[in-house]
C-alpha cells in the first residue's frame, strides 16, 4: 500500500497540471500559515485595548522573540532533513538518534533564551526606548516568553519529527491547537476575566506559554501514538557532535535569515522611536496585519519547492518554468488583495488595534505607502523559492541581506533625516525595487544553471 501511494504521489508530481498541483500541495500549508498569522496578531489586538504603550511594547519585544522562534525553526530544518534521509535509507536507529538529539538541542536553546531573558532583556529594551511605561510592559512580556521558551522549542521539535515522516496533518493540528489555546486564554489573563488579576502584557505572555505547552503535549501525544515509524528513546536524548554539526550545517542559513529580519526590526524600532513611540506601535501593527497576506504566500512557497525539486530531478524543464509562472500568478493575486485592502481600508485595518487619532494620522499614510511594495515582494518570494529548489539557496540569502540590511535600513535612516516620519515609510518600496532587480538577476542565473545541467548528457 505504501509503495502504491508513493507511486501515485510521484505520478502526481510529474504529471498533474502544474497550477492544480501547486494548489493541491500548498492550500493546506497556506491555511496553516493563516492560523499562524491569526496567532501572531491576537496578542497585539488584545493588549492594544489596554493601552498604546502595550502595543508598542510587543513591537519592541518582537525582534528578540523572532530570534527565539528562528533558532527553533532553523534547528528543525536540520532535524527534519536528517531524519528524512535516515528513514529513506531505512536506518531507523540513526533517525531515532537524530530525534533524541533534537530534544536535547531544544533544551539547550531554552537555556540560551532563558539566560537572555534574565540577564539581557533589560539592556535590549533600554537600547530601543527611554519611555519607562513601555520598558516595564516590554520587560514583563519578554522575560516570561523567554524563560518559558522550553515549550516553544519542544513544540517546534515535535512538529518537525511529525513532518519528517509525512504526518503533516498531525503537525498542523499540533500548531493549531496550541494557537487556539493561546487565543482563548488571552483575555482571561490580559483583562482579568473570571476573577483572575488583569496582567496586561504579562498576561499575554503567560497565555502564549500555556498555548505552547498545550501544543507540545498534543504534539508528543501524536508522536508516541501515531508516529511509530520514528521511535524516541531516553537513551538517544544526548548531544553527539557529528549529528549536532550536521543539523546546524543544514539549518544555520535559516537561522541566519531570521536573525537578519530581527536585526532589521530592531533598527527600524530605533529609527521610528526617535520620532515617537506611536510610530513604533504603527510599525508593529503593520507587521501583524501584513502577515495575513504574506503568510499564504510563504505557504505557497512550501508547495513550490517540492514541485520544482521533483521535476528538476526528473529533468522536466518545461514543468519547472510553468510552476514558477503559476507561483508568480498566485502570489501576485494575494499581494494585489493586500494592496487593495491597505489602500482602500487602512483605517479599518488599524481600527482593530484601538488606535488613537495620532496613531491613525501616522498609520494611514504608512500602510498606503508600504503596500506599494507588495506586488514586487510576491515575485521576489517566489523567485527565492525557485532558487532554493534549484540548489541555489545562497541566492535567496544574498537577496535577503541586500534588501533588509543594505537597502531598507539605510533608506529608512536617510529618509528619517528629513524630520518627517511619513517619509520613512518609502524605504519599503525602495528596498523592494532593489530586491526585485536582485531577484531577477539571481533567478536568471539559477535557471541558466538548470538549463546547462539538464542539457548535459544524463
Question: What digits encode the pLDDT tens for the residues 263-274?
Answer: 999 999 999 999
Q: Which helix (H) or strand (E) holds 427?
A: helix 427-455
Nearest alpha carbon to residue 87 among 185, 222, 230: 230
Q: Are residues 202 and 331 in the same domain?
A: no
Which whole number is the average pLDDT over 194-203? Answer: 92
Contacts of 346 (CB under 8 A, 6+ apart): 363, 364, 367, 368
Q: What is the pLDDT of residue 267?
A: 94
Q: What is the pLDDT of residue 8?
A: 39
Q: Is residue 257 part of a domain?
A: no
- Dist CA 210 CA 216 (whole Å): 10
pLDDT band at 3, cuts 50/70/90?
very low
Q: What is the pLDDT of residue 18?
A: 67
Q: Are residues 288 and 241 in the same domain?
A: no
- Dist CA 138 CA 200 (whole Å): 11
- Structural domain tally of the chain? 2
Which whole number is the average pLDDT over 209-226? Answer: 94
Q: What is the pLDDT of residue 254?
A: 77
Q: Which residue, of 235, 250, 265, is where some domain finishes?
A: 250
CB 99 within 8 A of CB 76: no
Query: Is residue 2 packed enough to be buried (19+ CB in 10 Å), middle (13-18) or exposed (0-12)?
Result: exposed
Q: Is residue 255 part of a domain?
A: no
Q: Are residues 29 and 88 in the same domain?
A: no
Helix (H, G, I), strand (E, B) or coil at 355: coil
Q: Are residues 3 and 95 in the same domain?
A: no
Q: Are residues 95 and 9 in the same domain?
A: no
Give yes or no for residue 55 having a pLDDT over 80: yes
Q: Are residues 28 and 53 in the same domain?
A: no
Residue 219's domain spans which residues?
Answer: 49-250
Q: Are residues 366 and 403 in the same domain?
A: yes
Flag the least confident range among 113-117, 139-143, 255-259, 359-363: 255-259
Contacts of 416 (CB under 8 A, 6+ apart): 271, 274, 275, 423, 424
- Dist CA 172 CA 184 (whole Å): 18
pLDDT band at 256, cuts 50/70/90?
confident
- Dist CA 105 CA 216 (whole Å): 15
Q: Is residue 264 part of a domain?
A: no
Q: Which residue, of 250, 285, 305, is where some domain finishes?
A: 250
Flag the least confident range among 230-239, 241-250, 304-313, 394-403: 304-313
Q: Is residue 279 part of a domain?
A: yes
Q: Are residues 25 and 55 in the same domain?
A: no
Q: Which residue, of 250, 265, 299, is where some domain finishes?
A: 250
Q: Is residue 235 part of a domain?
A: yes
H-type alpha helices, 274-372: 277-313, 317-344, 346-351, 357-370
Q: Are residues 73 and 197 in the same domain?
A: yes
Q: What's the whole-number average pLDDT of the chain?
A: 87
Q: Which residue has the higher pLDDT, 256 or 243?
A: 243
pLDDT band at 419, cuts 50/70/90?
very high
Q: Are residues 29 and 69 in the same domain?
A: no
Q: Is residue 40 part of a domain?
A: no
Q: Is residue 457 part of a domain?
A: yes
Q: Are residues 383 and 438 in the same domain?
A: yes
pLDDT band at 164, cuts 50/70/90?
confident
Category of 200 on φ-ψ map: left (φ > 0), alpha (ψ -120 to 50) or beta: left
Q: Are residues 377 and 298 in the same domain?
A: yes
Q: Is residue 259 part of a domain?
A: no
pLDDT band at 148, cuts 50/70/90?
very high
Amino acid at each position: 500500500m505504501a509503495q502504491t501511494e508513493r507511486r501515485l504521489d510521484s505520478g502526481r508530481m510529474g504529471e498533474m497540471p502544474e497550477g492544480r498541483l501547486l494548489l493541491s500541495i500548498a492550500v493546506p500549508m497556506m491555511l496553516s500559515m493563516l492560523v499562524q498569522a491569526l496567532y501572531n496578531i491576537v496578542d497585539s489586538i488584545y493588549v492594544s485595548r489596554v493601552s498604546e504603550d502595550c502595543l508598542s511594547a510587543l513591537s519592541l519585544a518582537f525582534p528578540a522573540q523572532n530570534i527565539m522562534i528562528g533558532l527553533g525553526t532553523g534547528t528543525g530544518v536540520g532535524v527534519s532533513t536528517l531524519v528524512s534521509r535516515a528513514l529513506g535509507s531505512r536506518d531507523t536507529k540513526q533517525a531515532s538518534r537524530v530525534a533524541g538529539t533534537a530534544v536535547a538541542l531544544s533544551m539547550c536553546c531554552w537555556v540560551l533564551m532563558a539566560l537572555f531573558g534574565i540577564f539581557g532583556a533589560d539592556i535590549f529594551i533600554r537600547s530601543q526606548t527611554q519611555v519607562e511605561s513601555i520598558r516595564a510592559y516590554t520587560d514583563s512580556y519578554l522575560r516570561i516568553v523567554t524563560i518559558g521558551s522550553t515549550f516553544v522549542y519542544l513544540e517546534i521539535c515535535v512538529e518537525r519529527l511529525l513532518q519528517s515522516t509525512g504526518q503533516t496533518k498531525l503537525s498542523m493540528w499540533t500548531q493549531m491547537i496550541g494557537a487556539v489555546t493561546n487565543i482563548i486564554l488571552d483575555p482571561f489573563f490580559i483583562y482579568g476575566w473570571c476573577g483572575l488579576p488583569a496582567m496586561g502584557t504579562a498576561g499575554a505572555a503567560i497565555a502564549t506559554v500555556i498555548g505552547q505547552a498545550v501544543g507540545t503535549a498534543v504534539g508528543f501525544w501524536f508522536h508516541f501514538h501515531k508516529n511509530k515509524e520514528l521511535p524516541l528513546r531516553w537513551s538517544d536524548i544526548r548531544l553527539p557532535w557529528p549529528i549536532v554539526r550536521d543539523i546546524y550545517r543544514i539549518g544555520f542559513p535559516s537561522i541566519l535569515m531570521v536573525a537578519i529580519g530581527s536585526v532589521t526590526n530592531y533598527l527600524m524600532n530605533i529609527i521610528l522611536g526617535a520620532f515617537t513611540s506611536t510610530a513604533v506601535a504603527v510599525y508593529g501593527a503593520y507587521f501583524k496585519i501584513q502577515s495575513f497576506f504574506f503568510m499564504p504566500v510563504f505557504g505557497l512557497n512550501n508547495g513550490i519547492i517540492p514541485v520544482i525539486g521533483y521535476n528538476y530531478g526528473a529533468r522536466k524543464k518545461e514543468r519547472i518554468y510553468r510552476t514558477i509562472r503559476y507561483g508568480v500568478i498566485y502570489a501576485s493575486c494575494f499581494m494585489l488583495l493586500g494592496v487593495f485592502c491597505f489602500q482602500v481600508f487602512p483605517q479599518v485595518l488599524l481600527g482593530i488595534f484601538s488606535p488613537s487619532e495620532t496613531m491613525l494620522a501616522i498609520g494611514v499614510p504608512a500602510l498606503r505607502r508600504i503596500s506599494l511594495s507588495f506586488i514586487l515582494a510576491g515575485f521576489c518570494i517566489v523567485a527565492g523559492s525557485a532558487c532554493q529548489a534549484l540548489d541555489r539557496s545562497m541566492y535567496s540569502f544574498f537577496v535577503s541581506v541586500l534588501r533588509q540590511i543594505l537597502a531598507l535600513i539605510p533608506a529608512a535612516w536617510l529618509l528619517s533625516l528629513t524630520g518627517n516620519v511619513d517619509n520613512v515609510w518609502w524605504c519599503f518600496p525602495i528596498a523592494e525595487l532593489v530586491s526585485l532587480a536582485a531577484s531577477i538577476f539571481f533567478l536568471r542565473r539559477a535557471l541558466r544553471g538548470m538549463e546547462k545541467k539538464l542539457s548535459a548528457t544524463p
